[in-house]
Structure 1
């Protein structure tokens, strides 16, 4: 079974972020931000993050065009929220998911976005929902506290209204 981890950097220093990646033996970080920059923390701009990760022995790949939380295709949104089923209908999204699964099958990988809480990020309610449908994948979210939570547990904890909107 291929394990795909997720992590958000919001409120974390780059040192704490790298320490969490090392804690879970992450070899490849896959950036799924639509825009790979941070106006609040310059260490998380694409160029700075690539350098920080390289120095830590962790590779970096950007897949934000295919898997970002703000695609340009407005039909991917329902009531203003990104919808997994709508994304799954798009060839560019399916191609991004295939690439992610291929990378994760080769080495331990984590997808990254800015939101620290996976329940409030497209890592769980879009990408996680899609990957959860594949029995050969396990999605493990590194949560706000640094602990692991699997996709099924995260979905089970979602409030009924969130389930209607997100999953």
Structure 2
């Protein structure tokens, strides 16, 4: 049975992030942020895509699998019940369902990893997206974390 990985980049740097993906045999990173922008150097869409391509990892962005602003606001405020309600409702939208259908062949091929910001997956919408994909595939979900210092270990 194959795996679908998920990862958050909170608190990491781009070098360790990419090294973690390489060590985990990720072939395609599926960005599920509504807005693929970041104040953290290297994690906005264009820079991230470039870093991944240099490491032979494909990048794709699914805006419609991102958490809408009201859901992000609720999560930031620690109101996870409201966040889950908002995001679950969003996942029933035609756009989100179409994005799930489009993502299925990418994850079935193996080597796929869902990306969002939060380090911990338990209160991140990527867990809900992963669960939705799990319902439609026979994949296992594995949440991975960025390994600090890994890029330096690869350099040696």
TM-score (normalizing by structure 1): 0.73
1:10 is the counterpart of 2:10: yes
1:121 is the counterpart of 2:124: yes
Are the counterparts in 2 of residues 36 and 45 from structure 1 also a CA contact under 8 Å?
Answer: yes
1:108 is the counterpart of 2:106: no
Structure 1 unaligned regions, length at least 5 = 147-167
Instruction: Indicate the SS of the match to 1:16.
Output: helix
How many residues end up aligned between the 2 structures?
140
* RMSD over equivalenced CA pairs, Å: 2.5
TM-score (normalizing by structure 2): 0.78
Cα deviation code 1:8-64 (max 9, x no counterpart)? 01111111101110111001111111111111x12101111011111111110010x
- Segments ≥4 residues shifted beyond 4 Å: none
Instruction: Indicate the SS of the match to 2:113.
Output: strand
User: Could you say which structure has the greater relative contact order, defined with CA pairs below 8 angstroms and 6 or more residues apart?
Assistant: 2
Higher strand share: 1
Are the counterparts in 2 of residues 117 and 144 from structure 1 also a CA contact under 8 Å?
Answer: no
Instruction: Indicate the SS of the match to 2:103.
Output: helix
Q: Distance in 1 between matches of 2:104 and 2:2?
A: 8
Equivalences for residues 133-148 of structure 1 within 5 A: 133-134=135-136, 136-143=138-145
CA shift, 1:132, in A, is: 3.4
CA shift, 1:71, in A, is: 6.2
Structure 2 unaligned regions, length at least 5 = 72-79, 149-156
